[in-house]
Structure 1
Amino acid sequence: MPTATPQDPPAPPDVVVIMTDQQAVGCTAASGGPDTMPRTDALLAGGTRFTRARTSSPLCVPARESLLTGRFPSAHRVRQNSTARHALYGTDLLDVLRGCGYSLHFSGKPHMHPGPSDFDSFTGPFLHDHGPGAEEDGFAAWLRAMDHGVAHAPTPFPVEDQFPHRIVDGALASLEAAPTDAPRFLWVSFPEPHNPYQVPEPYFSMFEDEVPPRATDASVLDGMDWRFRWLHRLFEEKRPGFDDDWRRFRANYLGMLRLIDEQIGRLLDAIAAAGRDTIVVILADHGDFLGEYGLQRKGAAMPDALMRIPLGFAGPGIAAAEREELVSIVDVLPTLAELLTGQIPAGVQGRSLLPLLRGEHAPEEEFGSILGELGFGGVSYDEDARPPLHFPYEGRSLDELNSVTMGGEMRMLVRGHHKLVVDDRGRDTLHDLEADPLEIHDLSGDPDRQGLRAELHRELVRWMLRVADELPEGDYVPRTRPHHWRWA
C-alpha cells in the first residue's frame, strides 16, 4: 500500500490594499453615479462590496491609523493629522503580515505611523501638492501654486506627471523586484481625488455633461450644526464666491476618479499577468462634501458625505455579493488577520468580515449599527468663536481642518436608517437617512421620536463601552468570541 505524501499547505495569497483619499460614495456607476471607475467596479462585481461602510473618522490620519491598527481613534490616540507618530496599539497590520512571511511594499501617500524603514520597498511620499524631489518637480510646484483650489483649465502636464501614474509606476517596480518565493503585501495609496481639484485632458472634459446636480446649497445651513456655517463663512471670507465653482469642481473630481481608475487598471493587469492568488482590498479613508451645503473638502461635523466610504474585497474565496451590513474601516485589519492567521490580535476593536466575504449570514445585532468618532479634544467652541488658528485669517490660504470646527468631541451612531450625533456640550442631532440622506432636518426635538432618540443614546453608550481600550494586556484574560463579534 503506497504511503501518503504529506501535502504542503497552500501558499498565502498576495494582499493588495488600494486606497483613495477623500473619495465620496455615489461617484461611480456601481454606487449610482457616472461611470467614472469601470475597472474598479468590474473588479468588485466579482467580489464583495459593502454598500453602507463608514470610516472611523472623517480625516486622513485618524482613519488610516484605524485601518492599520483595527482601533478607533479614541483608542489608538491619533485624532489629528499631526500626531501619527503617537499611535498606540499592540499589533498592527504590518506586524501581522510580516509575521506571516510577507514582503512589504508601499507606494503613494503615507499619513501613517510606519515609515520607509518599515517596508521592504517604499515609493513616496506623495502628498497633495508635492512628491519625492518636489523642489525639482514642475508639476508639484504647479500644484502648490493652486493652493488646494479648483482648476478652471486642463492641467498643463501629461498624465505621466500625475501622482497616480507615478505611484503605480512605483508599485509595479516593487512587485517586479519583490522575491517570488514569499507572499507579497502592497499598499497603493493615492492622494487623489483630494484637493487640489485638477486633471489634464481628456479627463478635464470627460464628465462636463454628466455632472450630477447637487441637492443642497448654503441656504440649508441655518438649520444645521453651527460648524457647517462657521466653515462656510471662513471659506467665503478668504475666497469670496468659491461656491460658484461647484460644477467645475465636480467635473474635475469625476475626471480625477477616471484617471485613478485607469492607473488601477494598469496595476490589476500586472497582478493578473503574475498569475498569483491575490486578495485586493479597495477603499477610501473618508469622503468629500462635493459641493453639498455650499462646501468643498471636509472639516465640519460628521455627515454621511464624509463618513461613508467605498469598501470592497476581491480575490479567491470571496463571494460575489453586495452587502448592506454596517461595517467600518476598523474592520479591515481583523478581517485580514483572521484570513491569514485564524486569530485577531489583542487590542483590536474591529470585527472580522471573513464570514461575510464567504457569503455567510451576519447577525443583525452585530452589524446593525456602527460608531464614528471626531474631535481634537478640549471643549467645543461656539459659533461666534474666532481664536488664533494655525493659519492667518487674512489672505486666501486656509485649512479646512481647524481647532474650531474640529475641536472638542463628537460621536456618531448609525443604526438601521437612523443616525445620532452627539457632542461634548450635550448637543445632539437625529436624522432619518432614508428620508433625509443629507441630514438637513434635525429630528431630535420631535416629540414622536423621543423613544427612538433614547434607544440610540443607549446604543451609543454600548458602543463606547465596547471600544474602551484593553491595552496593555495584563494577568487577567478577557473573554473573546469568534470573529470578535461581541454581540452575535
Structure 2
Amino acid sequence: MKTRQTVFALVLLAASMQVAAASEKLNICFFLADDLRADGIGALGGQIVKTPHIDKLCERGFAFRNAYTLGSDRGGVCVPSRAMIASGRSYLRPDVQAILKGGAKYRRPETETPLLGQTLATAGYASIRSGKFGSNPNQVDQYYDVHIDGKTAEGNADNLIAFIQKNAGKKPLFLYMAPHEPHDPQFSPKSYHALYKAADIPMPVNFLPMHPFDNGEMLVRDEQTLPWPRTPESVGGKRAKYYASVTYLDDQIGRVVDALKQAGQFENTIFIVAGDNGLSLGEHGLIGKQNVYELGGMEVPLVFAGPGIAQGESESFAYLYDVYPTMCELAGIPVPDGLDAKSLVPVINGTQPKVRDVLFTAYRDCQRAIRDERWKLARYPLIDKTQLFDLQSDPHEMNDLAANPEYAGKIKELTALLETTRRAMGDTDALTVANPGKAEWSVPDVIPTWKEQVKAREKAAQQKQRRLEEKTKGEKQ
C-alpha cells in the first residue's frame, strides 16, 4: 500500500508533467490590423509602403493572395469581421447575429459551438488581447485571460511585451494585437510622415473622381472623409497618411517579435498577420470599405508563419474566419465541430490546392458578389444592377461586361451560383426588390451625418420588421 507521502509525490510529478506539456505547446501571435489592404504590405505587392518587419514574417511564411472577410451588415465592417473570427461562422447566421446584438453582455450558450477564446482556454493558453475594444472578439468572449486596451499600436505592443516577459515558458501564449492603425485618421507619429509625400504617391489605375452609380452606401462615414469629386491631390494625401500609419504599425509588430526572440519563444510561435477588412483608396472613386470590389472593402492580407509552415503562397480562396480552425490545427488543438470556416492547413502543407471553389462576399442588403478563379459577378438589388468582370484580363474591374449579350449565359450561370451560395451562408436578403431605385446619383447639397443615417436605417428596419410580422400574422389567419 502506498504511503501518503508517496501519493503526494506522484501528484506533484503528474502536475509538473502537465505544466511541462503545456509549455511545449506552440505559442500563437495574431496581428490583426484595422483596415489593412491586401496590398498594404511590401512583401505582398505594396510598391510604396515600407513594412520590413512584416516582410520578414512573410518571407518565412505562407500567404493567401485571395483572402477576404465574408461581408458586413453595417458600415463598421470590422464588427462582424471580428465576430466571425471569434466564432468561425458566417455573420449571417443567427448565433453570430446574437453576438453582434449582445455586444459585451453576450454569453455563449454551452450548447453552441465554442468561440475561439473558449477553445484556447480549454487548451490551456494564457491569453492577452490588446487593441480595438468595441468590435473585438474579446468583447463577446469572456474566456480571454487579460483585457487591456492601448490607445495606439505602441501601447498595444507595450502590453504584449509585458505579458510575454511575465508569462513566457509558463504556459503556451495567445498574443492578440488588434490596433486601430491604419484606420482613419491614420495615426502615426510625425517622424513617419516624412517617409511619404503625397506628390510621390501614384494613383491606382482604376482611380475615378466619382463612383459611377449608387451602390447603396455612397454617403457612409468613410466616404465622407474626403470631398467629392476625388482628386489626385486629396487621394494622394490620404494614401500618404495611410502608408505612414502602416509603417508605424509595422515597427510596433517588430518590437513584439523581438520580445519573443529575447524570451526564447520566437521559434516556438505561430504568427498570423491579417487585416480585419480592406479599404478603397481612390479606386472606382471610393474611399471606404463598404463595397465588394477587389482590393476594396472585403479583400485582406492573410499570412501564416512559424514551425512547420513552409514559405510560399496560394491563389486559393480563403475567408478571414478560416483563421480559427487553421490556427487550431497548426497548434495541435482540436477543431470544434459546427464551424463554417475551413482549415487552410491542407493548402499550406500542399496536400490540397484549395478548400473552396468559389467565394461569396456581401454588404448589407445592397451588395452581393460571387467569383471563381476567373469570373466575378456583383449584384446591387436596390437598383437592379449587375456587373460582370473577367478578372483574368481585367483584374482592376474596369470593363463591365454585363451589358454585352455575348455574356448573358455567364451572367445566368453566376447568378444561379450566387443564389445557391448565399443561401448556404445563411443570407436571407433577396437579389431583387419590388421597387428598385435609380442607379444615378449625385452629391446632395446637405449630407446627413452618419448618426442621422444610422437612425434612419434603424427606423426603416423596424418598419420592415413590422410589415413582415403583419404579413406573417395575416397568413396564419
Normalising by structure 2, what TM-score?
A: 0.74
Match of 1:271 in 2: 260
On the 8 A contact 1:414/1:420 being kept in 2, the answer is: yes
CA distance in 2, matches of 1:352, 1:234: 35
Rounded to whole Å, the distance in 2 between the matches of 1:44 and 1:359 is: 17
CA contact (8 A) 1:56 1:372 kept: yes
Matching residue of 2:394: 436
The answer to whether the Cα contact below 8 Å between 1:47 and 1:314 also exists between their aligned partners in 2 is yes
In the alignment, which residue of structure 2 is the partner of 1:118? 143
> 5 Å matches for 1:288-367?
288-300=279-291, 302-341=293-332, 343-363=334-354, 366-367=355-356
- Structure 1 ranges of 4+ moved more than 6 A: 6-10, 79-82
Match status 1:455 vs 2:423:
no
Query: Is the CA contact 2:291–2:298 (under 8 Å) kept in the aligned structure 1?
Result: no
| Distance apart, 1:183 and its partner CA | 0.7
Q: Provide the aligned length of Structure 1 versus Structure 2.
A: 392
In 2, are the aligned partners of 1:65 and 1:113 still within 8 Å (CA)? yes
1:31 pairs with one of 39, 44, 68: 44
Q: In the alignment, what sits opposite 1:156?
A: none
Please tell me whether the aligned partners of residues 292 and 362 of structure 2 are also in contact (alpha carbons under 8 angstroms).
Answer: no
Q: Distance in 1 between matches of 2:31 and 2:293?
A: 24
C-alpha deviation, 1:55, in angstroms: 1.3
Matches within 5 A, 1:231-246: 235=224, 239=227, 243=231, 244-246=233-235
Matched to 1:62, the amino acid is P
User: In structure 2, which of residues 215, 230, 242 is the aligned counterpart of residue 253 of structure 1?
Assistant: 242
Residue pairs, 1:83-482, within 5 angstroms: 84-85=103-104, 90-110=113-133, 111-115=135-139, 118-124=143-149, 126=150, 131=151, 163-178=152-167, 180-208=169-197, 210-219=200-209, 221-222=211-212, 224-227=213-216, 229=218, 235=224, 239=227, 243=231, 244-276=233-265, 277-300=268-291, 302-341=293-332, 343-363=334-354, 366-375=355-364, 408-425=365-382, 427-468=385-426
- Provide the alpha-carbon RMSD of the alignment: 3.1
Preserved CA contact (<8 Å) 1:193 1:257: yes
* Alignment gaps of 5+ in structure 1: 1-5, 132-162, 376-407, 470-488
Deviation for aligned residue 1:220:
5.6
- Take 2:228 and 2:411, find their aligned partners in 1: how far apart are those partners? 39
Could you say if the C-alpha distance between residues 350 and 217 of structure 1 is closer, same or farther in structure 2, counting changes exceeding 3 Å?
same
Give the whole-Å Cα distance in 2 for the aligned partners of 1:232 and 1:196.
12
In the alignment, the residues of structure 2 paired with residue 304 and residue 41 of structure 1 have an alpha-carbon distance, to the nearest angstrom, of: 19
Q: Which has the larger radius of gyration?
A: 2
Task: Classify the secondary structure of the residue corresponding to 1:53.
Answer: strand
2:434 maps to none
Distance 1:28 1:34, change over 3 A: farther
Q: Distance in 1 between matches of 2:283 and 2:247?
A: 21
**TM-score scaled to structure 1, two decimals?**
0.72
Q: How has the CA–CA distance of structure 1 residues 194 and 30 changed in structure 2, closer, same or farther, with 3 Å as cutoff?
A: same
Summarize the Cα distance change of 1:118–1:463 in structure 2 as closer, same or farther, 3 Å threshold: same
Match of 2:442 in 1: none
Shift of 1:323: 1.0
Corresponding residue SS for 1:259: helix
Q: Deviations over 1:272-318 (max 9, x none)?
A: 22223100110001111112233323334555411210100000001
Amino acid at match of 1:267: V
Q: Deviations over 1:180-204 (max 9, x none)?
A: 3221111000111110134333210
Identity among equivalent pairs (%): 26
Range that drifts further, 14-23 or 297-306: 297-306
Distance 1:190 1:109 in 2: 6
The partner residue of 1:63 within 76, 81, 87 is 81
Equivalent residues of 1:77, 1:87 under 8 A apart: no
